[in-house]
Structure 1
Amino acid sequence: MTSVSETEGADTGGEAVTGRWDGVDVNFGEEGGRLTYGSYLRLGLLLDQQRLESDPPAHDELLFITIHQVYELWFKQVLHELTASRDAMLSGELWLAQHLLRRVHTIERTLTQQVDILETMTPQDFGEFRHRLSPASGFQSVQFREIEFLSGAKDPSFVKRFRGLSEDEKVRLQRRLEEPTLWEAFLVVLEAAGFSVGSDEDLRKALQTVATDRAQYAATWELAEALLQHDELAAAWRARHVVMVERMIGTKPGTGGSSGAGYLRSRLDLRYYPHLWHLRSSL
Protein backbone atom coordinates (compact mmCIF):
# COMPACT_ATOMS: atom_id res chain seq x y z
CA MET A 1 0.00 0.00 0.00
CA THR A 2 1.32 3.41 -0.94
CA SER A 3 1.94 5.61 2.06
CA VAL A 4 4.21 8.22 3.52
CA SER A 5 5.49 7.59 7.04
CA GLU A 6 7.65 9.56 9.43
CA THR A 7 6.88 12.80 7.65
CA GLU A 8 8.28 16.07 8.78
CA GLY A 9 6.72 19.41 7.97
CA ALA A 10 3.49 17.77 6.83
CA ASP A 11 2.51 20.67 4.74
CA THR A 12 4.17 22.98 3.76
CA GLY A 13 4.46 26.40 2.44
CA GLY A 14 7.55 25.22 0.64
CA GLU A 15 9.01 23.34 3.60
CA ALA A 16 10.61 19.98 3.04
CA VAL A 17 8.55 16.79 3.44
CA THR A 18 10.67 13.75 4.18
CA GLY A 19 9.91 10.11 4.80
CA ARG A 20 9.48 6.84 2.96
CA TRP A 21 7.18 6.18 0.01
CA ASP A 22 6.75 2.49 -0.75
CA GLY A 23 10.09 1.79 0.84
CA VAL A 24 11.94 4.52 -1.01
CA ASP A 25 13.48 7.50 0.75
CA VAL A 26 11.88 10.72 -0.48
CA ASN A 27 12.58 14.35 0.19
CA PHE A 28 9.97 16.78 -1.10
CA GLY A 29 10.19 20.53 -0.93
CA GLU A 30 12.52 23.34 -1.73
CA GLU A 31 14.72 22.99 1.35
CA GLY A 32 16.07 19.55 0.52
CA GLY A 33 15.43 19.46 -3.19
CA ARG A 34 18.16 18.15 -5.42
CA LEU A 35 16.05 18.94 -8.47
CA THR A 36 13.86 21.92 -9.25
CA TYR A 37 11.13 22.43 -11.83
CA GLY A 38 13.39 24.67 -13.83
CA SER A 39 16.47 22.47 -13.67
CA TYR A 40 14.51 19.32 -14.55
CA LEU A 41 13.04 20.97 -17.66
CA ARG A 42 16.29 22.86 -18.39
CA LEU A 43 14.27 26.03 -18.68
CA GLY A 44 17.33 28.25 -18.69
CA LEU A 45 18.46 26.64 -21.94
CA LEU A 46 14.97 26.18 -23.39
CA LEU A 47 13.84 29.77 -22.93
CA ASP A 48 17.09 31.09 -24.35
CA GLN A 49 16.51 29.45 -27.75
CA GLN A 50 14.12 32.04 -29.17
CA ARG A 51 16.68 34.24 -30.91
CA LEU A 52 15.18 36.86 -33.21
CA GLU A 53 16.85 37.67 -36.54
CA SER A 54 14.98 40.92 -37.14
CA ASP A 55 16.57 44.24 -36.20
CA PRO A 56 14.81 46.16 -34.87
CA PRO A 57 12.91 43.18 -33.36
CA ALA A 58 9.62 42.43 -35.12
CA HIS A 59 6.94 41.80 -32.54
CA ASP A 60 5.55 38.61 -34.14
CA GLU A 61 8.89 36.91 -34.80
CA LEU A 62 8.85 35.50 -31.26
CA LEU A 63 5.47 33.89 -31.98
CA PHE A 64 6.75 32.45 -35.27
CA ILE A 65 9.83 30.93 -33.65
CA THR A 66 7.94 29.60 -30.64
CA ILE A 67 5.28 27.87 -32.76
CA HIS A 68 7.86 26.14 -34.93
CA GLN A 69 10.01 25.09 -32.00
CA VAL A 70 6.92 23.62 -30.36
CA TYR A 71 6.19 21.78 -33.61
CA GLU A 72 9.65 20.23 -33.50
CA LEU A 73 9.16 19.16 -29.88
CA TRP A 74 5.89 17.48 -30.83
CA PHE A 75 7.57 15.88 -33.86
CA LYS A 76 10.14 14.41 -31.47
CA GLN A 77 7.36 12.93 -29.36
CA VAL A 78 5.50 11.61 -32.42
CA LEU A 79 8.66 9.86 -33.60
CA HIS A 80 9.11 8.38 -30.14
CA GLU A 81 5.57 7.00 -30.15
CA LEU A 82 5.49 5.83 -33.77
CA THR A 83 8.80 4.00 -33.38
CA ALA A 84 7.54 2.27 -30.24
CA SER A 85 4.23 1.42 -31.96
CA ARG A 86 6.08 -0.09 -34.89
CA ASP A 87 8.25 -2.15 -32.55
CA ALA A 88 5.18 -3.28 -30.60
CA MET A 89 3.60 -4.56 -33.82
CA LEU A 90 6.77 -6.45 -34.69
CA SER A 91 6.73 -8.11 -31.27
CA GLY A 92 3.01 -8.95 -31.40
CA GLU A 93 1.87 -6.44 -28.75
CA LEU A 94 -1.09 -5.14 -30.72
CA TRP A 95 -2.79 -3.49 -27.75
CA LEU A 96 0.33 -1.41 -27.07
CA ALA A 97 0.75 -0.47 -30.72
CA GLN A 98 -2.84 0.77 -30.86
CA HIS A 99 -2.53 2.61 -27.54
CA LEU A 100 0.54 4.52 -28.74
CA LEU A 101 -1.09 5.38 -32.06
CA ARG A 102 -4.07 6.86 -30.19
CA ARG A 103 -1.62 9.14 -28.39
CA VAL A 104 -0.16 10.16 -31.75
CA HIS A 105 -3.68 10.98 -32.99
CA THR A 106 -4.16 13.40 -30.09
CA ILE A 107 -0.83 15.09 -30.78
CA GLU A 108 -1.65 15.38 -34.48
CA ARG A 109 -4.92 17.15 -33.68
CA THR A 110 -2.92 19.54 -31.51
CA LEU A 111 -0.50 20.19 -34.38
CA THR A 112 -3.39 21.20 -36.62
CA GLN A 113 -4.94 23.41 -33.94
CA GLN A 114 -1.67 25.27 -33.49
CA VAL A 115 -2.14 26.75 -36.95
CA ASP A 116 -4.92 28.86 -35.44
CA ILE A 117 -2.37 30.54 -33.19
CA LEU A 118 -0.02 31.21 -36.08
CA GLU A 119 -2.86 32.79 -38.05
CA THR A 120 -3.24 35.50 -35.42
CA MET A 121 -0.22 36.93 -37.23
CA THR A 122 -1.22 39.00 -40.26
CA PRO A 123 0.59 38.94 -43.62
CA GLN A 124 1.85 42.45 -42.83
CA ASP A 125 3.25 41.28 -39.49
CA PHE A 126 4.97 38.31 -41.16
CA GLY A 127 6.36 40.59 -43.85
CA GLU A 128 8.31 42.54 -41.24
CA PHE A 129 10.77 39.67 -40.78
CA ARG A 130 10.11 37.06 -43.51
CA HIS A 131 13.00 38.33 -45.65
CA ARG A 132 15.32 37.39 -42.78
CA LEU A 133 14.40 33.69 -43.00
CA SER A 134 15.84 32.88 -46.44
CA PRO A 135 17.02 30.24 -47.26
CA ALA A 136 15.55 28.52 -44.19
CA SER A 137 12.28 26.66 -44.82
CA GLY A 138 9.95 24.21 -43.14
CA PHE A 139 10.79 21.95 -46.07
CA GLN A 140 14.08 21.36 -44.23
CA SER A 141 12.50 19.84 -41.10
CA VAL A 142 14.39 16.57 -40.71
CA GLN A 143 12.04 15.26 -38.03
CA PHE A 144 9.02 15.81 -40.26
CA ARG A 145 10.74 13.78 -42.99
CA GLU A 146 11.52 11.09 -40.44
CA ILE A 147 7.81 10.90 -39.58
CA GLU A 148 6.94 10.51 -43.26
CA PHE A 149 9.61 7.86 -43.82
CA LEU A 150 8.57 5.90 -40.73
CA SER A 151 4.90 6.16 -41.67
CA GLY A 152 5.61 4.60 -45.06
CA ALA A 153 6.32 7.49 -47.46
CA LYS A 154 10.04 6.93 -47.94
CA ASP A 155 11.71 9.38 -50.30
CA PRO A 156 15.47 8.74 -50.78
CA SER A 157 15.68 11.70 -53.16
CA PHE A 158 15.12 14.09 -50.24
CA VAL A 159 18.42 13.04 -48.68
CA LYS A 160 20.23 13.45 -52.01
CA ARG A 161 18.81 16.81 -53.07
CA PHE A 162 18.93 18.62 -49.74
CA ARG A 163 22.46 19.93 -49.29
CA GLY A 164 21.98 21.60 -45.92
CA LEU A 165 21.87 18.37 -43.92
CA SER A 166 24.42 17.79 -41.19
CA GLU A 167 26.16 14.41 -41.06
CA ASP A 168 24.04 13.44 -38.06
CA GLU A 169 20.84 14.34 -39.94
CA LYS A 170 21.94 12.32 -42.96
CA VAL A 171 22.56 9.31 -40.72
CA ARG A 172 19.15 9.69 -39.07
CA LEU A 173 17.32 9.88 -42.38
CA GLN A 174 19.28 7.01 -43.88
CA ARG A 175 18.44 4.89 -40.85
CA ARG A 176 14.74 5.67 -41.33
CA LEU A 177 15.02 4.68 -44.98
CA GLU A 178 16.53 1.33 -44.04
CA GLU A 179 14.37 0.35 -41.05
CA PRO A 180 10.84 -1.12 -41.21
CA THR A 181 7.93 1.26 -41.63
CA LEU A 182 4.66 1.12 -39.73
CA TRP A 183 3.05 -0.47 -42.79
CA GLU A 184 5.72 -3.15 -43.01
CA ALA A 185 5.16 -3.89 -39.34
CA PHE A 186 1.41 -4.19 -39.97
CA LEU A 187 2.10 -6.73 -42.73
CA VAL A 188 4.00 -8.77 -40.12
CA VAL A 189 0.87 -8.60 -37.95
CA LEU A 190 -1.24 -9.93 -40.82
CA GLU A 191 1.22 -12.75 -41.46
CA ALA A 192 1.19 -13.66 -37.76
CA ALA A 193 -2.61 -13.90 -38.01
CA GLY A 194 -2.22 -16.50 -40.76
CA PHE A 195 -2.61 -14.37 -43.88
CA SER A 196 -0.48 -14.31 -46.99
CA VAL A 197 0.59 -10.82 -48.04
CA GLY A 198 2.98 -11.73 -50.85
CA SER A 199 0.98 -9.97 -53.56
CA ASP A 200 -1.51 -7.12 -53.81
CA GLU A 201 -4.31 -9.64 -54.36
CA ASP A 202 -3.30 -11.64 -51.28
CA LEU A 203 -3.22 -8.43 -49.28
CA ARG A 204 -6.62 -7.35 -50.59
CA LYS A 205 -8.14 -10.68 -49.52
CA ALA A 206 -6.48 -10.50 -46.11
CA LEU A 207 -7.80 -7.01 -45.42
CA GLN A 208 -11.25 -7.97 -46.69
CA THR A 209 -11.34 -10.94 -44.31
CA VAL A 210 -10.19 -8.86 -41.35
CA ALA A 211 -12.82 -6.22 -42.13
CA THR A 212 -15.69 -8.66 -42.53
CA ASP A 213 -14.83 -10.88 -39.54
CA ARG A 214 -14.13 -8.33 -36.86
CA ALA A 215 -15.16 -10.73 -34.11
CA GLN A 216 -12.20 -12.98 -34.87
CA TYR A 217 -9.76 -10.28 -35.95
CA ALA A 218 -10.81 -7.45 -33.66
CA ALA A 219 -7.32 -6.39 -32.58
CA THR A 220 -5.99 -6.45 -36.14
CA TRP A 221 -8.95 -4.44 -37.43
CA GLU A 222 -8.62 -1.83 -34.68
CA LEU A 223 -4.93 -1.50 -35.46
CA ALA A 224 -5.70 -0.99 -39.14
CA GLU A 225 -8.18 1.72 -38.15
CA ALA A 226 -5.56 3.38 -35.93
CA LEU A 227 -3.12 3.48 -38.85
CA LEU A 228 -5.77 4.95 -41.11
CA GLN A 229 -6.56 7.59 -38.47
CA HIS A 230 -2.88 8.55 -38.39
CA ASP A 231 -2.95 8.84 -42.17
CA GLU A 232 -6.13 10.94 -42.15
CA LEU A 233 -4.87 13.32 -39.47
CA ALA A 234 -1.57 13.79 -41.31
CA ALA A 235 -3.56 14.64 -44.46
CA ALA A 236 -5.71 17.07 -42.47
CA TRP A 237 -2.61 18.84 -41.18
CA ARG A 238 -1.19 19.17 -44.70
CA ALA A 239 -4.49 20.63 -45.94
CA ARG A 240 -4.70 23.09 -43.04
CA HIS A 241 -1.08 24.06 -43.51
CA VAL A 242 -1.39 24.90 -47.21
CA VAL A 243 -4.42 27.12 -46.62
CA MET A 244 -2.54 28.94 -43.88
CA VAL A 245 0.43 29.50 -46.21
CA GLU A 246 -1.87 30.83 -48.95
CA ARG A 247 -3.50 33.17 -46.45
CA MET A 248 -0.09 34.38 -45.26
CA ILE A 249 1.95 34.75 -48.48
CA GLY A 250 -0.43 34.00 -51.36
CA THR A 251 1.42 32.59 -54.37
CA LYS A 252 4.88 33.88 -53.39
CA PRO A 253 7.76 31.37 -53.51
CA GLY A 254 8.83 29.74 -50.25
CA THR A 255 11.83 31.14 -48.41
CA GLY A 256 13.74 27.93 -49.15
CA GLY A 257 13.26 28.32 -52.90
CA SER A 258 10.25 26.02 -53.32
CA SER A 259 7.07 27.12 -55.05
CA GLY A 260 5.51 27.72 -51.65
CA ALA A 261 1.81 26.88 -51.55
CA GLY A 262 2.13 25.22 -54.96
CA TYR A 263 4.57 22.64 -53.59
CA LEU A 264 2.40 22.06 -50.52
CA ARG A 265 -0.67 21.51 -52.70
CA SER A 266 1.24 18.87 -54.66
CA ARG A 267 1.53 16.90 -51.41
CA LEU A 268 -2.18 16.92 -50.56
CA ASP A 269 -2.91 13.59 -52.26
CA LEU A 270 -0.20 11.76 -50.32
CA ARG A 271 -1.56 8.73 -48.46
CA TYR A 272 0.58 6.48 -46.29
CA TYR A 273 -1.71 3.46 -46.54
CA PRO A 274 -3.53 3.36 -49.91
CA HIS A 275 -4.52 -0.29 -49.39
CA LEU A 276 -6.58 0.68 -46.34
CA TRP A 277 -8.26 3.46 -48.30
CA HIS A 278 -9.01 1.19 -51.27
CA LEU A 279 -10.56 -1.30 -48.87
CA ARG A 280 -13.41 1.16 -48.26
CA SER A 281 -14.62 0.73 -51.82
CA SER A 282 -15.32 -2.96 -51.28
CA LEU A 283 -17.02 -2.81 -47.87
Structure 2
Amino acid sequence: MTTSSEAIEIAVEKGKVAGTVLSPEARKPGVLFVHGWGGSQESDLIRAKRIAALGCICLTFDLRGHGDTLAQQQTVSRADNLRDVIAAYDVLANNPDIDRSAIAVMGNSYGAYLASILSTQRPVKWLALSVPALYRDAEWDVPKRQLDREDLAEYRSMQVISSENRALAACAQFEGDVLLVEAEHDHLVPHETIMNYRRAFEKAHSMTHRIVDGADHAMTSEICQQAYTSVLSAWAIEMIVGRRVGFMESSMLRAP
Protein backbone atom coordinates (compact mmCIF):
# COMPACT_ATOMS: atom_id res chain seq x y z
CA MET A 1 0.00 0.00 0.00
CA THR A 2 1.40 3.39 -0.96
CA THR A 3 1.43 6.38 1.35
CA SER A 4 1.45 10.14 0.86
CA SER A 5 2.93 12.75 3.19
CA GLU A 6 2.00 16.37 3.79
CA ALA A 7 3.98 18.94 5.79
CA ILE A 8 1.76 20.94 8.13
CA GLU A 9 2.00 23.57 10.86
CA ILE A 10 0.30 23.09 14.23
CA ALA A 11 -0.78 26.25 16.04
CA VAL A 12 0.15 26.21 19.74
CA GLU A 13 -0.63 29.29 21.84
CA LYS A 14 1.36 32.13 20.20
CA GLY A 15 3.60 29.95 18.05
CA LYS A 16 3.67 27.05 15.64
CA VAL A 17 5.38 23.67 15.46
CA ALA A 18 6.05 21.60 12.36
CA GLY A 19 4.36 18.29 11.67
CA THR A 20 3.96 15.70 8.94
CA VAL A 21 0.76 13.79 8.12
CA LEU A 22 1.28 10.38 6.50
CA SER A 23 -1.84 8.84 4.96
CA PRO A 24 -2.54 5.46 3.37
CA GLU A 25 -4.96 4.91 0.50
CA ALA A 26 -7.46 3.30 2.88
CA ARG A 27 -7.92 5.63 5.83
CA LYS A 28 -9.33 4.35 9.10
CA PRO A 29 -7.50 4.44 12.47
CA GLY A 30 -5.31 7.37 13.51
CA VAL A 31 -1.86 7.11 15.08
CA LEU A 32 -0.09 9.98 16.83
CA PHE A 33 3.68 9.72 17.35
CA VAL A 34 5.33 11.68 20.19
CA HIS A 35 9.13 11.81 20.12
CA GLY A 36 11.47 11.98 23.11
CA TRP A 37 13.34 14.91 24.65
CA GLY A 38 16.15 16.02 22.37
CA GLY A 39 14.66 14.15 19.42
CA SER A 40 12.37 15.22 16.59
CA GLN A 41 9.70 13.88 14.30
CA GLU A 42 12.48 12.61 12.04
CA SER A 43 13.06 9.73 14.46
CA ASP A 44 9.43 8.62 14.02
CA LEU A 45 9.01 8.92 10.25
CA ILE A 46 10.33 5.46 9.30
CA ARG A 47 8.01 3.73 11.77
CA ALA A 48 5.12 6.05 10.88
CA LYS A 49 5.47 5.15 7.19
CA ARG A 50 5.35 1.45 8.08
CA ILE A 51 2.26 1.89 10.27
CA ALA A 52 0.57 4.09 7.64
CA ALA A 53 1.08 1.33 5.08
CA LEU A 54 -1.03 -0.93 7.31
CA GLY A 55 -4.04 1.32 6.75
CA CYS A 56 -3.66 4.05 9.39
CA ILE A 57 -3.42 7.83 9.19
CA CYS A 58 -0.26 8.81 11.07
CA LEU A 59 0.85 12.18 12.40
CA THR A 60 4.39 12.99 13.50
CA PHE A 61 5.36 16.43 14.81
CA ASP A 62 8.05 18.39 16.65
CA LEU A 63 7.47 19.31 20.28
CA ARG A 64 8.32 22.90 21.12
CA GLY A 65 12.02 23.18 21.90
CA HIS A 66 12.80 20.77 19.05
CA GLY A 67 13.07 20.94 15.29
CA ASP A 68 12.49 24.47 14.01
CA THR A 69 11.82 25.73 17.56
CA LEU A 70 15.06 24.43 19.08
CA ALA A 71 15.82 27.91 20.47
CA GLN A 72 12.94 27.44 22.94
CA GLN A 73 14.46 24.32 24.54
CA GLN A 74 15.87 26.27 27.48
CA THR A 75 12.46 27.64 28.47
CA VAL A 76 9.89 25.04 27.46
CA SER A 77 8.14 23.16 30.29
CA ARG A 78 6.25 19.89 30.54
CA ALA A 79 3.05 21.93 30.64
CA ASP A 80 4.01 23.56 27.33
CA ASN A 81 4.81 20.25 25.67
CA LEU A 82 1.60 18.60 26.89
CA ARG A 83 -0.29 21.42 25.17
CA ASP A 84 1.70 20.62 22.02
CA VAL A 85 0.65 16.98 22.21
CA ILE A 86 -3.01 17.90 22.75
CA ALA A 87 -2.91 20.32 19.81
CA ALA A 88 -1.35 17.65 17.56
CA TYR A 89 -3.94 15.09 18.69
CA ASP A 90 -6.75 17.49 17.81
CA VAL A 91 -5.31 18.06 14.33
CA LEU A 92 -5.23 14.29 13.78
CA ALA A 93 -8.70 13.71 15.23
CA ASN A 94 -10.19 16.46 13.08
CA ASN A 95 -9.07 14.75 9.87
CA PRO A 96 -12.40 13.85 8.17
CA ASP A 97 -11.11 10.37 7.29
CA ILE A 98 -10.23 9.47 10.90
CA ASP A 99 -12.29 7.12 13.03
CA ARG A 100 -12.21 9.08 16.29
CA SER A 101 -12.94 5.95 18.30
CA ALA A 102 -9.78 4.32 16.94
CA ILE A 103 -6.81 6.53 17.79
CA ALA A 104 -3.47 5.17 18.96
CA VAL A 105 -0.68 7.18 20.57
CA MET A 106 2.91 5.97 20.35
CA GLY A 107 5.38 7.80 22.57
CA ASN A 108 9.09 7.46 23.21
CA SER A 109 10.77 8.32 26.55
CA TYR A 110 9.63 11.87 27.43
CA GLY A 111 7.02 11.54 24.68
CA ALA A 112 5.71 8.35 26.29
CA TYR A 113 5.35 10.19 29.61
CA LEU A 114 3.34 12.93 27.87
CA ALA A 115 1.31 10.34 25.94
CA SER A 116 0.26 8.72 29.21
CA ILE A 117 -1.09 12.02 30.52
CA LEU A 118 -2.75 12.77 27.18
CA SER A 119 -4.92 9.67 27.64
CA THR A 120 -6.80 11.52 30.41
CA GLN A 121 -7.34 14.57 28.21
CA ARG A 122 -8.43 12.93 24.95
CA PRO A 123 -9.85 9.51 23.88
CA VAL A 124 -7.05 7.00 23.25
CA LYS A 125 -7.78 3.37 22.33
CA TRP A 126 -4.21 2.06 22.00
CA LEU A 127 -1.13 3.26 23.87
CA ALA A 128 2.42 2.27 22.94
CA LEU A 129 5.07 3.46 25.40
CA SER A 130 8.74 2.96 24.54
CA VAL A 131 11.24 3.43 27.40
CA PRO A 132 8.77 5.77 29.18
CA ALA A 133 10.44 8.39 31.35
CA LEU A 134 9.03 9.39 34.73
CA TYR A 135 9.09 12.77 36.48
CA ARG A 136 7.98 14.08 39.84
CA ASP A 137 4.73 16.05 39.70
CA ALA A 138 6.44 19.05 41.32
CA GLU A 139 7.80 21.86 39.14
CA TRP A 140 5.34 21.02 36.34
CA ASP A 141 5.62 24.56 34.90
CA VAL A 142 9.38 24.87 35.40
CA PRO A 143 11.51 24.64 32.21
CA LYS A 144 12.42 20.99 31.74
CA ARG A 145 16.09 21.90 31.32
CA GLN A 146 16.12 23.11 34.92
CA LEU A 147 14.98 19.82 36.47
CA ASP A 148 17.60 18.18 38.71
CA ARG A 149 19.00 15.19 36.79
CA GLU A 150 20.42 13.49 39.88
CA ASP A 151 17.06 13.77 41.60
CA LEU A 152 15.35 12.33 38.51
CA ALA A 153 17.75 9.37 38.46
CA GLU A 154 17.01 8.68 42.11
CA TYR A 155 13.25 9.00 41.59
CA ARG A 156 13.28 6.62 38.64
CA SER A 157 15.00 3.93 40.73
CA MET A 158 12.22 4.05 43.33
CA GLN A 159 8.96 2.14 43.47
CA VAL A 160 6.24 4.72 42.83
CA ILE A 161 2.54 3.94 43.18
CA SER A 162 0.05 5.31 40.69
CA SER A 163 -1.70 7.62 43.15
CA GLU A 164 1.56 9.50 43.73
CA ASN A 165 2.34 10.42 40.13
CA ARG A 166 0.26 12.11 37.43
CA ALA A 167 1.45 9.92 34.55
CA LEU A 168 1.03 6.68 36.51
CA ALA A 169 -2.41 7.80 37.69
CA ALA A 170 -3.35 8.27 34.03
CA CYS A 171 -2.12 4.74 33.29
CA ALA A 172 -4.23 3.40 36.17
CA GLN A 173 -7.34 4.81 34.46
CA PHE A 174 -6.50 3.55 30.97
CA GLU A 175 -8.74 0.73 29.71
CA GLY A 176 -7.36 0.18 26.23
CA ASP A 177 -4.52 -1.96 24.87
CA VAL A 178 -0.94 -1.22 25.94
CA LEU A 179 2.50 -1.91 24.53
CA LEU A 180 5.38 -1.31 26.93
CA VAL A 181 8.89 -1.46 25.45
CA GLU A 182 11.98 -1.70 27.66
CA ALA A 183 15.65 -1.35 26.67
CA GLU A 184 17.80 -4.01 28.35
CA HIS A 185 20.70 -1.67 29.21
CA ASP A 186 18.82 1.58 29.80
CA HIS A 187 20.75 3.93 32.12
CA LEU A 188 18.13 6.72 31.96
CA VAL A 189 14.93 4.72 32.41
CA PRO A 190 15.81 1.73 34.62
CA HIS A 191 13.79 -1.45 35.04
CA GLU A 192 12.06 -0.12 38.17
CA THR A 193 10.53 2.74 36.18
CA ILE A 194 9.22 0.29 33.59
CA MET A 195 7.71 -1.81 36.37
CA ASN A 196 6.09 1.27 37.89
CA TYR A 197 4.31 1.79 34.57
CA ARG A 198 3.45 -1.88 34.20
CA ARG A 199 1.95 -2.10 37.69
CA ALA A 200 -0.10 1.05 37.05
CA PHE A 201 -1.99 -0.43 34.08
CA GLU A 202 -4.38 -2.38 36.29
CA LYS A 203 -7.46 -1.69 34.10
CA ALA A 204 -5.83 -2.17 30.68
CA HIS A 205 -7.66 -4.43 28.23
CA SER A 206 -4.33 -6.03 27.35
CA MET A 207 -0.69 -5.51 28.29
CA THR A 208 2.25 -6.43 26.05
CA HIS A 209 5.73 -5.99 27.59
CA ARG A 210 8.73 -6.41 25.33
CA ILE A 211 12.45 -6.03 26.11
CA VAL A 212 14.87 -5.10 23.33
CA ASP A 213 17.97 -7.17 24.10
CA GLY A 214 21.26 -5.31 24.23
CA ALA A 215 19.64 -1.90 23.75
CA ASP A 216 20.59 1.34 25.45
CA HIS A 217 18.01 4.08 26.09
CA ALA A 218 18.29 5.52 22.58
CA MET A 219 18.44 2.04 21.01
CA THR A 220 21.53 3.34 19.23
CA SER A 221 22.51 0.31 17.19
CA GLU A 222 20.82 -0.44 13.89
CA ILE A 223 19.96 -3.94 15.12
CA CYS A 224 18.13 -2.52 18.14
CA GLN A 225 16.32 0.03 15.98
CA GLN A 226 15.17 -2.73 13.66
CA ALA A 227 14.08 -4.88 16.60
CA TYR A 228 12.05 -2.00 18.07
CA THR A 229 10.41 -1.25 14.71
CA SER A 230 9.49 -4.92 14.36
CA VAL A 231 7.97 -5.01 17.85
CA LEU A 232 5.92 -1.86 17.18
CA SER A 233 4.74 -3.04 13.77
CA ALA A 234 3.77 -6.50 15.00
CA TRP A 235 1.78 -5.01 17.87
CA ALA A 236 0.04 -2.56 15.51
CA ILE A 237 -0.88 -5.39 13.15
CA GLU A 238 -2.30 -7.48 16.00
CA MET A 239 -4.08 -4.76 17.94
CA ILE A 240 -5.03 -2.01 15.51
CA VAL A 241 -5.35 -3.75 12.15
CA GLY A 242 -6.33 -7.22 13.33
CA ARG A 243 -8.91 -6.13 15.86
CA ARG A 244 -10.57 -3.71 13.44
CA VAL A 245 -10.70 -6.34 10.70
CA GLY A 246 -12.32 -8.75 13.15
CA PHE A 247 -14.85 -6.09 14.17
CA MET A 248 -15.74 -5.35 10.54
CA GLU A 249 -16.18 -9.04 9.74
CA SER A 250 -18.41 -9.62 12.77
CA SER A 251 -20.47 -6.55 11.88
CA MET A 252 -21.00 -7.91 8.35
CA LEU A 253 -22.12 -11.25 9.77
CA ARG A 254 -24.67 -9.53 12.00
CA ALA A 255 -26.02 -7.32 9.22
CA PRO A 256 -29.56 -8.25 8.04
Alignment TM class, shorter chain as reference: under 0.3
- Which is strand-richer, 1 or 2? 2
Q: Over alpha carbons, which structure has the higher Rg? A: 1
- Which is helix-richer, 1 or 2? 1
Of the two structures, which has the highest relative contact order with CA contacts closer than 8 Å and spacing of 6 or more? 1
